[in-house]
């Protein structure tokens, strides 16, 4: 009989609860003891861990956030912190750890693996910047929230003949900005991965105005060289020739807190079940992800050594459609 603990770490993502539910229920179905760790790696270090039954994960599949709580633990960045966490697990008779999270969290799980403790990761982050999974838990829901914001802003933009700057999440990765921009018919999209001259954006606004467009939407990833604040300052200096009046909206954490849509609930359930199957096969030190429609495992070593690139084909498509 195995004893498996599950934790959620890093930024919360809609669908994390569905993943916890699947891990616990699929583990219990195998006759294993299942445990939940509170507040990510911090709870591992402090021993904030309790046994979980199938009832403990009832009524959560539709809820955003994570019932286990999440955190970005500084202590777990240190070797001492990691060894402390592993010691806690061993003392409690737990033999395997499941980590639901993104890049920082899976770097943590890779270190746990290197220290010889059996661990399996589940790909979850709204940024979709994790190597080893084409889609991660939470992306689809966050994207739809950003898209709804664009659609709403367009209404007001048209009423007032304005241009709206919408800043979406993504410090290092422009996936949400790119996809929301394409789906929302944005005039311009600024990404951390593509250097953009603000003059080019100003020119596209001027042309859109000249062509009689009633509104313009510019989607900006928070990590773009020119974010919403920097662009607003730039446009302020050039406002007489832009035509449109400019307003900026920063969407922020609103994108993370949604209730998961069908895609994220199903993806999370499949990945949770995939993690339990990997453990059953004795496959550790891997990330469970979705690739070409199937549930796959990728060595954590490969996951942390590689960067998921944004699709240049999609960038080109966005440039053609704007
Ligand atoms: O990694 C997910 C994410 O939402 C990023 O898009 C964003 O830059 C970051 O987390 C914000 O982190 P925090 O919630 O710690 O401010």
Kindly name the residue from 127, 129, 140, 264 that is annotated as catalytic: 127
Query: Which pLDDT value is given to residue 202?
Result: 94
- As a whole number, the mean pLDDT across the chain is 96
Query: Which pLDDT value is given to residue 240?
Result: 85
Cα of 190 vs centre of ligand 1, distance in Å, is 18
Instruction: Please check the confidence at residue 322 and state whether its pLDDT lies above 90.
Output: no
Cα distance between residue 100 and residue 57, in whole Å: 15
Band (306; pLDDT cuts 50, 70, 90): very high
Cα distance between residue 271 and residue 297, in whole Å: 10
Query: Which pLDDT value is given to residue 260?
Result: 98
125 CB under 6 A from ligand 1?
Answer: yes
Cα of 167 vs centre of ligand 1, distance in Å, is 13
Query: Ligand 1, from 13, 106, 171, 227: best to mutate by most atoms within 8 Å of Cβ?
Result: 171
Q: Where are the alpha helices (DSSP H) in the chain?
A: 16-29, 40-46, 79-91, 103-114, 139-160, 175-183, 198-210, 228-237, 262-281, 300-305, 312-321
Helix (H, G, I), strand (E, B) or coil at 241: helix
Q: What is the pLDDT of residues 100-138, one digit of tens each?
A: 999 999 999 999 999 999 999 999 999 999 999 999 999
Q: What would the CATH number be for the domain defined by 142-257?
A: 3.40.50.460
171 CB under 6 A from ligand 1?
Answer: yes
Q: What is the pLDDT of residues 9-19, one digit of tens each?
A: 999 999 999 99
Cα of 252 vs centre of ligand 1, distance in Å, is 9
Q: What is the mean pLDDT of residues 157-166?
A: 94
222 CA: nearest ligand 1 atom: 8
Told to judge if 259 belongs to the known catalytic residues of this protein, a careful annotator would answer no
Q: What is the pLDDT of residues 233-292, one digit of tens each?
A: 999 988 888 899 999 999 999 999 999 999 999 999 999 999 999 999 999 999 999 999
Query: Which pLDDT value is given to residue 128?
Result: 97
pLDDT over 90, % of the chain: 97
Q: What would the CATH number be for the domain defined by 3-138+260-305?
A: 3.40.50.450
Segments making up each domain of the chain, as ranges: 3-138+260-305, 142-257
Q: What is the pLDDT of residues 186-240, one digit of tens each?
A: 999 999 999 999 999 999 999 999 999 999 999 999 999 999 999 999 999 888 8
126 CB under 6 A from ligand 1?
Answer: yes
**Domain 3-138+260-305 and domain 142-257 have a common topology:** yes
Query: Which pLDDT value is given to residue 217?
Result: 96
Cα of 8 vs centre of ligand 1, distance in Å, is 14
Query: Which pLDDT value is given to residue 238?
Result: 86
Cα distance between residue 171 and residue 153, in whole Å: 23
Query: Which pLDDT value is given to residue 100?
Result: 98
């Amino acid at each position: 009989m195995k004893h498996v603990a599950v934790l959620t770490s890093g930024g919360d993502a809609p669908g994390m609860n569905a993943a916890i539910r699947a891990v616990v229920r699929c583990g219990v179905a195998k006759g294993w003891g299942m445990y939940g760790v509170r507040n990510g790696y911090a709870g591992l270090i402090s021993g904030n861990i309790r046994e979980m039954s199938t009832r403990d994960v009832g009524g959560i599949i539709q809820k955003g956030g994570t019932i286990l709580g999440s955190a970005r633990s500084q202590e777990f960045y240190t070797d001492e912190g990691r060894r402390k966490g592993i010691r806690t697990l061993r003392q409690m008779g737990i033999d395997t750890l499941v980590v639901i999270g993104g890049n920082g969290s899976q770097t943590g799980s890779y270190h746990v693996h290197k220290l010889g403790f059996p661990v399996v990761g589940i790909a979850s982050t709204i940024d979709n910047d994790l190597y080893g999974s084409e889609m991660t838990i939470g992306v689809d829901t966050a994207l739809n929230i950003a898209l709804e914001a664009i659609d709403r802003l367009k209404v007001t933009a048209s009423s007032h003949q304005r241009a709206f700057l919408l800043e979406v999440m993504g410090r290092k990765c422009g996936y949400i900005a790119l996809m929301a921009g394409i789906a929302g018919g944005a005039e311009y999209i600024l990404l951390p991965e593509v250097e953009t001259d603000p003059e080019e954006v100003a020119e596209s606004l001027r042309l859109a105005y000249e062509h009689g467009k009633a509104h313009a939407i510019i989607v900006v990833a928070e990590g773009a060289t020119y974010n919403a604040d920097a662009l607003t300052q730039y446009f302020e200096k050039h406002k007489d020739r832009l035509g449109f009046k400019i307003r900026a909206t920063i969407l922020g954490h609103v994108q993370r807190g949604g209730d998961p849509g069908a895609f994220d609930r199903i993806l999370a359930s499949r990945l949770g079940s995939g993690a339990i199957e990997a453990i059953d096969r004795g496959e550790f030190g891997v990330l469970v992800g979705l690739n070409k429609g199937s549930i796959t495992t990728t060595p954590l070593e490969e996951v942390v050594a590689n960067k998921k690139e944004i699709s240049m084909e999609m960038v080109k498509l966005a440039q053609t459609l704007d």
